[in-house]
Structure 1
Amino acid sequence: MSQEGVPVKRRRENGPDEQPDLRELVKKNISATQEIKTMVNNQEKNILETIEKLEDQRENTGWLIRELVKIGAQINAENKKSLDKKFVLNEIFCDMLTMKDGDYRYGKCYEHFGQTWRIVVKRQDNYLGVYMGINKLGNTEKWSAETFHSLELSVGRVCRDTIRQEGNFDGYNMYGALKFCTWQEMQNRWLVDGKLTVKAEVHIRKLAGSVKPKLIDFDASAKFSDYILEVGGQKFHVLKQLLAMRSPYFEALFYGNFTESTKDATELKNVDPNDFQNFLEVLHGEYKAIDDYTLEGIMLLNDVYDAKTVAERCQEFLMEKSQLSLVKKLKLVSKYKNDELKEKLLSEIKTLEKYKSIVADGVDDFSLDVAQALLKKSLTLQ
């Protein structure tokens, strides 16, 4: 029993009675709280450091992925086979400030798909006009081209302005923008040391007219034909077995698991009938169908149809007979992959001046392997 007002001593289990020391308890609680806070702070610090490392890794991984995607896209673009007729022209016009009202400046001519193309600029009523020009080649009396193209002014890689429009070259040799921008804007925004940089991207939708007479008729009078291929509104009467023997594409088309194999006619879309006429002639042994005007169209089709005979004849022509410029030949090699021809063309670059002119003209059209080969070549030139 205890007297009233006197605190009762607490009894330890299996031990002597003990009066609790409140100050010691408070001290211990404060110490424990501080330890917990320190542990929490350390954990938070470790967590933040881990998050930062993960973010760094994620950023590095993201950068790597983005770079791999770019490389993959470039490789896919180079390896993708297409029947589209496309090309790019780049031109630098000098001394623009000396142009007077009504003056034209003409860029260099470049051969693409049997015709020569160039960029033209004009000063008219204090406006800058930018045009795509074309010069008809061959002996065609009636010729026209339907195109989609863009015209672009640029300064470096950041500042640029582009217009896109239809171009129908039917009786005219130029098509573009009469008032691309004011002459004052051109001076203030696009001119660098009196030079104007213009880029044109052209997609040929349709070409009408042929630069050479037919060597073989594939009309209804064709002997031994058993199938009709419709191309651009024209009908080509062909022998399936002959095409299938020389082209894996037509072998699959005629004898594979396609609905076309059960028919006696089909349409080949996005194919130029003039190019197809020339391709068929070469496939049938008329190698005279290949010349500097028809070569690129034939190679374009054979990139998809993959006829070994056609590829060999085109290579032979390029190596022995073609009068195309060296840079144009390298562009064709870039697009249609031919290591033997690439090495031969590179061996023809014997001076640094020649090397610089080729790189300046073809920098946007060379494939990765040709660009690397040119870089190695430059190290051997004085």
Structure 2
Amino acid sequence: MRTELIAATEEIKKHQKHSLQELESKIEDVKKENKKNLDEISEKLQSIENSEKSDNTTSFFPISEKIFKLKHVFKTVNEFQENVFNVGGEEDHYNVKWCISAKRSNGHLGLFVRCEPIAPADKWSIRTKFECKIVGIKQHYITRAWETCYRTSGGLGFHKFIDWESMKRWYLLNGDLTVEVNAEIVEEAGLRKKKIRKFDGSQKDVSDVILVVRDTKFYVLKTFLASQSSVFKALLFGKFSESEQSEVTLNGIDPHDFHYFLEVLYGESAIDESNIENIVVLADMYDAPTAMRRCEEFLLKESKKALEKKLEIATRHHLEDLKKKCMNEITTTVVQKKAKVTKKNPLRKLLCLS
């Protein structure tokens, strides 16, 4: 009996040892997989890390550019009346309505970009860079670039973009003129909602890292940011020297946009029509799933933006639920109106985005 008991005990010990070895092996595999994932993210970040670092401040270079394109085909340009503005269709970009306008004046073609903020403050400004192009016969084109600052609604641009006869000879196609504009918002003021939460020096005692965006310092917690964003996790806890620094500089980002992005991460109701496009860009850039989900919920349930704009955002940032809803609405419209999706039908443009 005693011999059998000893044998059974030894068998149990062997089984427990084997189970423990299997468990240790699985734990080691998980560690390796997590390390592999973190290393992959770190390698991606390494390619854009600044090579020049000071002793106590480092730089990190994701880019959050506010860029967009405008395009309009002006019809029967030969019939333009002197000094009368001909205005193209409006487009909503970054909570501002934009459009191209053209006029005939003193033997020249004038081209302008009109700007009208959707919800401006009493005093506002938008500093913007433009590159304007007209495309003509055999893809000949002419471009002009300028930088300007809007402080009132209206159009700014070139009164003498090209002389009228040259435009008629080289750039009119069947009487129509194609105008394209590449635009970048450099800086803006007076277009933002009131901030809810503070990330300034008053939060110093409850923070362990400072994120510097331009001249603004944000006092935050590394562990919290890491829990919300795989990019911050790799940046602040990975192989980068940032993980040992008290300050980390983030370039290519607007400090106001970053403030609203942090508010969303910290659970505030910071999203509205004026900042949704900027927040979703940062949420995508920093791989912050909670922020992305809240952006998508806002666009699904609250946003009044046009269907075309929603589909554009959904496609660009892989918001699948929003994209599905937009496509269903487009399909329903086509069926109800029995509309044919042709080149002249705006629904064609939306369907092509999918």
- Residue 177 (structure 2) aligned to one of 185, 189, 196: 196
- Residue 157 (structure 2) aligned to one of 176, 188, 191: 176
Deviation for aligned residue 1:248: 0.9
Where does 1:17-96 land on structure 2 (aligned, <5 Å)?
A: 82-96=63-77
**Contact 2:97–2:115 (CA under 8 A) maintained in structure 1:** yes
Distance 1:300 1:355, change over 3 A: farther
Indicate the structure whose relative CO is greater, using CA pairs within 8 Å and at least 6 residues apart.
2
- Residue 261 (structure 1) aligned to one of 224, 243, 260: 243
Question: What CA distance in whole angstroms lies between the structure 1 residues aligned with 2:340 and 2:292?
Answer: 28
After TM superposition, the structure 1 stretch with the greater mean CA deviation from structure 2, 353-362 or 130-139, is 353-362
Identity of aligned residues (%): 33
Deviation for aligned residue 1:136: 2.1
Question: What CA distance in whole angstroms lies between the structure 1 residues aligned with 2:257 and 2:346?
Answer: 30
Aligned residue for 2:56?
none
TM-score scaled to structure 2, two decimals? 0.74
* Residue correspondences, number: 287
Query: Match of 2:201, SS?
Result: coil
Aligned residue for 1:146?
127
Question: What CA distance in whole angstroms lies between the structure 1 residues aligned with 2:342 and 2:260?
Answer: 35
* Amino acid aligned to 2:238: G
Deviation digits for residues 126-174 of structure 1 (CA, Å, limit 9, x no counterpart): 2111112211232423322233221111137723222222233345743
- Residue 297 (structure 1) aligned to one of 278, 283, 293: 278
* Amino acid aligned to 2:176: K
Aligned residue for 1:327?
308
After TM superposition, the structure 1 stretch with the greater mean CA deviation from structure 2, 149-158 or 229-238, is 149-158
Question: What CA distance in whole angstroms lies between the structure 2 residues aligned with 1:106 and 1:211?
Answer: 27
Aligned residue for 1:240?
222
**Contact 1:215–1:281 (CA under 8 A) maintained in structure 2:** yes
**Contact 2:95–2:275 (CA under 8 A) maintained in structure 1:** yes
Gaps of 5+ in 2: 1-61
**Contact 1:139–1:212 (CA under 8 A) maintained in structure 2:** no
Deviation for aligned residue 1:310: 0.5
Deviation digits for residues 206-240 of structure 1 (CA, Å, limit 9, x no counterpart): 22334211111211123622222121322222122
**Contact 1:327–1:362 (CA under 8 A) maintained in structure 2:** no
Matched, 1:221 2:202: yes
Aligned residue for 1:312?
293
**Contact 1:299–1:314 (CA under 8 A) maintained in structure 2:** yes
Q: Which has the larger radius of gyration?
A: 1
- Residue 84 (structure 2) aligned to one of 103, 115, 130: 103
TM-score scaled to structure 1, two decimals? 0.69
Cα RMSD of the aligned pairs, angstroms, is 2.5
Question: What CA distance in whole angstroms lies between the structure 2 residues aligned with 1:178 and 1:334?
Answer: 37
Gaps of 5+ in 1: 1-80, 374-382
